[in-house]
Structure 1
Amino acid sequence: MKITDVKALRRDFPIFRHRTYVDTACYAPGYARVAQAAADWHSSAMLMPGTSFDQTLAWLKPVAFARVEAAKLLGAQEEEIAFITSTGMGNCKIADALDLKAGDNVVINDLEFPSNVIAFTARQRKGVEIRRVNHQGGRLLLDDFAKLVDDRTRLIAISSVQWTNGFRMDLKSLVDLAESKKAYVVVDSCQSLGAMELDVRKTGIHFMVTQSHKWLFGPFSTGLMFVRRDLIGKYDPTIVESGNLFKNPARQPYHHQLDLDNLTDYAIEFVDTAAKYQSCPNLPGLWGLYESLKTINAYGIANIEERVLHLTDRLIERLRAVKGFTVSTPCGEGERSGIVSATTGSVDTDLETMRRLSQLGVGVSVRYQAGCGGVRMSLHFYNDEEDIDRLISALLGETKPLYFH
């Protein structure tokens, strides 16, 4: 579906009725269909028609549909998808399953959001070495990773898009480097999935974790985990819940999978899918996620990426004409995403700018890490050219509130 009627799309995001919101990288504005789906689950929980078995199966059907949509978005198989509550929890389960030991090393970088590295840095207490690539002018260079990856490297942890400046990593080249040393790549796609194409087959990534409240415009505490098919049977989690042992209950009821009268041996026999990494499902969240994934796939991620890059092209061009601001986002071919950062050169002035814009009805953030960042603006496919015009007007010194109806 081509993105031709943006006004119709924006009607399902009520924030645009009164505010210019260009801050999806912090969290997405509420999507009416997601809110309605979560409300529908709560309504059904209050009414509880039928038996608890029947009710559970009915609740899990949208979860199964969400898995189908997630697999479609990623170019994955359904059995490679698990649902998680956060990127940090997903990474903890990966670190746990890989059983990192003294002498192993994990390669990170100095631009990463903490949740993509602390699960691995915590293993330093067990003797795991953490090696860090330092950015070069906001870019992460493959050659710098190559200098640190060796035969004891187990994992490279990387974001598909960096949270401070929107730098987009060449994942395929990084995977090729990792595999040359029999290492894995885990990708945090929080700042790209839903806006930028991420095909797990084309990139070859081994693991991926993400949350839905940013570019997937889904609920909080609801996320996705991808585990490549050839690795599912190779590693098992030690953080285990009963749900890790069941096949898809929306297609095969619980009482057809286990003898519920004879569980006293408490045997652990994992399901042979990525679902063995899941926890108890956040049902209202996953009902909402199904709606957001369905919308993204209906428009097509290639169409969405094309529109997002068109909008950020326009924003970068306009920002370069704003006196006193310097675009700090890398703008080379293949490096850009939906995030654009620009700075006055002063953190304090950038913060003052953010607060002044907010008073004018324009939502942005300020983010810095390792000396990289500035006023962070982030555009999704539901933004339009008028959002950019109002943002630029505010940056140029407009003093009247830019609310509109």
Structure 2
Amino acid sequence: MSEDFTLDPELCHLNHAAVGPWPRRTAEVVARFAEENAHAGSLAYPQWLEVEQRLRERLARLIGAVSPADIALAKNTSEALSVIAHGIVWRDGQNIVGIQQEFPSNRIVWESLATQGVEWRGLDLDASSDPEADLMALCDDETRLLAVSWVQYASGRRLDLERLGTYCRAKGILFCVDAIQGLGVLPCDVQRFQTDFLVADGHKWLLGPEGLALLYVRPELRETLTLRQFGWHMVEQVGDFDQVDWVPAESARRFECGSPNLLGIHALEASLSLIEELGPETIWTRVQECTNHLIEAIDRRGFELLTPSDPALRAGIISFRVPDRSAEPLYRALMQRKVLCACRGGGIRFSPHFHTPLSVIDRAMEILDEILAAPPAS
């Protein structure tokens, strides 16, 4: 699997939860696209649109959607969440339930609805031993939406989407999932999870570029969202520029107001071709090998594991804290030694993927040992 990547051998890439590396094929596709554009302009535009359609088909299969028509392509997760938040017709006094420790995109967008009299209620995940039950307990008769991340960006804590989705469907509560830290690692099925909305950027575990994201809206709900963005690309008769009496597209394309990001589309489609060839079960098995190996290394050193050790409660993120050492200086030292990681939630966050050799994890931990053994800078 590592032969599909051309990473610098001196680099320990353990940061897929931030920005993942492109596979070899993705870099080659982007280079060909650029060369083609430089020499022939948009002569191949019809073929470019075929790649766009293939991307929608791959994304639909990846999440278990019924049809590629259920897939919209947004610029990023924040935009996709905003389409949902400001598309729902709210009533004064309604509320949204979520998690306090969410990445800002999954908090700010809901807090912005306060001007419409909508309350955002955040569960303190750090104080909860059963987040699913506690999220349900925060809901009441005025709860319109439950909005959570599948996997928390800092702690790596994974939620039971099937349990939450079953509850929401039974109570008539809309269910929105930010899947950015799970999609590409874990098998996904929006039908089984009973998600009404699912969003995910392509630049993390999907190994694609920034600037392109998935937006899934359950087909029965598409027309209930008020459109806030308009343009030539979101109409049913797309390409008929003389059409005067326009209507929004019946498909999820209604949420795409303007020209598609065809460069990003070529890149993400290529990356997903690799993910689809391997299959979600194979990828998840391999990621578990990496994370189990990492947890064993953390435990041997007596570090504090911030991510649940139970595989059912985690995905690809492993966060830990070194006792009596501040995380920020350790993070900076690791980055200086080409250990690509992150500082999140007061700890060091490593996030290996299916292609990460176990030897890279071992080398990263050995480098951390050397940093800890070195005398503090004067």
Task: Please indicate, yes or no, whether the TM-score normalized by the shorter chain is above 0.5.
Answer: yes
Q: Equivalent of 2:315, from 337, 356, 366?
A: 337
Whole-angstrom distance in 1 between the partners of 2:35 and 2:92: 51
- Does the CA contact (< 8 Å) of 1:311 and 1:385 recur in 2? yes
Whole-angstrom distance in 2 between the partners of 1:316 and 1:23: 16
2:224 counterpart SS class: coil
Deviations 1:63-95 (A, max 9, x none): 111111111111112111110111110011111
Structure-2 change in CA distance of 1:7 and 1:289 (3 Å): closer
- The aligned counterpart of 2:297 is 318
Whole-angstrom distance in 1 between the partners of 2:44 and 2:349: 44
- The aligned counterpart of 1:271 is 249
Q: Equivalent of 1:79, from 49, 69, 84?
A: 69
Whole-angstrom distance in 2 between the partners of 1:140 and 1:350: 27
Q: Equivalent of 1:88, from 56, 78, 96?
A: 78
- The aligned counterpart of 1:29 is 21
Note the residue ranges of structure 1 that are not aligned, 5 or more in a row: 1-5, 401-405
Residues 284-299 of structure 1: pairs in structure 2 closer than 5 A? 284-299=263-278
Q: Equivalent of 2:3, from 5, 8, 16?
A: 8
Q: Equivalent of 2:35, from 30, 40, 43?
A: 43
- The aligned counterpart of 1:390 is 363
* AA at the equivalent of 1:358: M
- The aligned counterpart of 1:349 is 326
- CA positional deviation for 1:321: 1.1
Q: Equivalent of 1:67, from 56, 63, 69?
A: 56
List 4+ stretches of structure 1 deviating above 6 A.
none
Q: Equivalent of 1:361, from 324, 330, 338?
A: 338
Whole-angstrom distance in 1 between the partners of 2:147 and 2:174: 9
- Does the CA contact (< 8 Å) of 1:110 and 1:133 recur in 2? yes
Whole-angstrom distance in 1 between the partners of 2:112 and 2:103: 15
- The aligned counterpart of 1:300 is 279
- The aligned counterpart of 1:122 is 112
Aligned length: 371
- CA positional deviation for 1:173: 0.9
- The aligned counterpart of 2:376 is none
- Does the CA contact (< 8 Å) of 2:56 and 2:68 recur in 1? yes
Whole-angstrom distance in 2 between the partners of 1:13 and 1:228: 38
- CA positional deviation for 1:14: 2.4
* AA at the equivalent of 1:30: W
Whole-angstrom distance in 1 between the partners of 2:255 and 2:45: 20
Q: Equivalent of 1:161, from 133, 138, 151?
A: 151
Whole-angstrom distance in 2 between the partners of 1:399 and 1:143: 40
Q: Is the counterpart of residue 134 in structure 1 residue 124 in structure 2?
A: yes
- Does the CA contact (< 8 Å) of 1:138 and 1:167 recur in 2? no
- The aligned counterpart of 1:217 is 207
- CA positional deviation for 1:42: 2.6
Greater Cα shift, 333-342 or 290-299: 333-342
Whole-angstrom distance in 2 between the partners of 1:351 and 1:138: 26
Residues 224-303 of structure 1: pairs in structure 2 closer than 5 A? 224-246=214-236, 254=239, 258=240, 260-263=241-244, 267-279=245-257, 280-303=259-282
Percent of residue pairs identical? 29
CA RMSD of superposed structures (Å): 2.1
Whole-angstrom distance in 1 between the partners of 2:367 and 2:250: 54
- CA positional deviation for 1:8: 1.9
Structure-2 change in CA distance of 1:131 and 1:269 (3 Å): same
2:312 counterpart SS class: coil
- CA positional deviation for 1:262: 4.8
- Does the CA contact (< 8 Å) of 1:153 and 1:181 recur in 2? no
- CA positional deviation for 1:271: 1.2
* AA at the equivalent of 1:38: V
Structure-2 change in CA distance of 1:333 and 1:382 (3 Å): closer
Note the residue ranges of structure 2 that are not aligned, 5 or more in a row: 374-378
Whole-angstrom distance in 2 between the partners of 1:399 and 1:319: 14
- The aligned counterpart of 1:187 is 177
